[in-house]
Amino acid sequence: MRNRQQRNPRHQRIQDEFENEIIDIRRVSKVTKGGRNLRFRVTMVVGDGKGRVGVGIGSTTEIPRAIQQAIRDAKKSLVKVNMDGGTIPHEVIGKFKAGNVLLKPAYPGTGVIAGTTVGAICRLAGIKDVLTKSIGTTNPLTLSRAALKGLSQLRSRQEIEQLRGIGEAPKQEVEDAA
């Protein structure tokens, strides 16, 4: 008898192009009149190393199910990151609630100078050289959202030139004074 993958091509497993990394696992509880309900909240970052990255959270009573939930959530919130070689094109500050993350471009060979949360996001986005500083909160969930906001604000040189109307100068016809 044939298995499910051979019968139905929809069920064929496709090699996932995304890598994932756990940022944070917390035990959270809700107090009800029947007692405490314990759950695990997992914060994951997912990226393809080519400029797409996302952060998701999952919360269930079991850690493996929470991880799967967080991966699905992260894939829904993917952000495209504009890069300039192995670094970012310009300095930017990402702000989310009480968290601020400063992202600065760095020379090749510098590496990812960042904490665990922002470093994981930068590595999975495919950024090789960057300097970061987190200002304000140290909550991994807030820091990750601030880093994503900062990365989504990045613009390439071509986009900025197009917005400002520069780049190709209009051709002026030269009149002969003969």
Give me the residue spans of the domains in the chain.
17-76, 81-159
Phi-psi region of 118 (alpha: psi -120 to 50; beta: other; left: phi over 0): alpha
pLDDT exceeding 90 applies to what percent of the chain? 73
Q: Is the pLDDT of residue 22 over 60?
A: yes
Q: Which pLDDT belongs to residue 40? A: 96
Reply yes or no on whether the pLDDT at 76 is more than 90: yes
Q: 51-90: buried (b, 16+ CB within 10 Å) or exposed (e) per residue?
A: bbbbbbbbbbeeeeebbebbbebbbeebbebbbeebbbbb
Give the mean pLDDT of the chain: 87
The answer to whether residue 169 scores a pLDDT higher than 70 is no
* CATH class of the domain comprising 81-159: alpha beta
| Rounded Cα gap, residues 150 and 45, in angstroms | 15
The answer as to CATH 3.40.50.10800 being correct for domain 17-76 is: no
The per-residue pLDDT for range 101-152, each reduced to its tens digit, is 999 999 999 999 999 999 999 999 999 999 999 999 999 999 999 999 999 9
Write down the pLDDT at residue 13: 46
Name the pLDDT band for 160 (thresholds 50, 70, 90).
Answer: confident
d(CA 173, CA 7): 68
Amino acid 161: pLDDT:
87
pLDDT at 12: 47
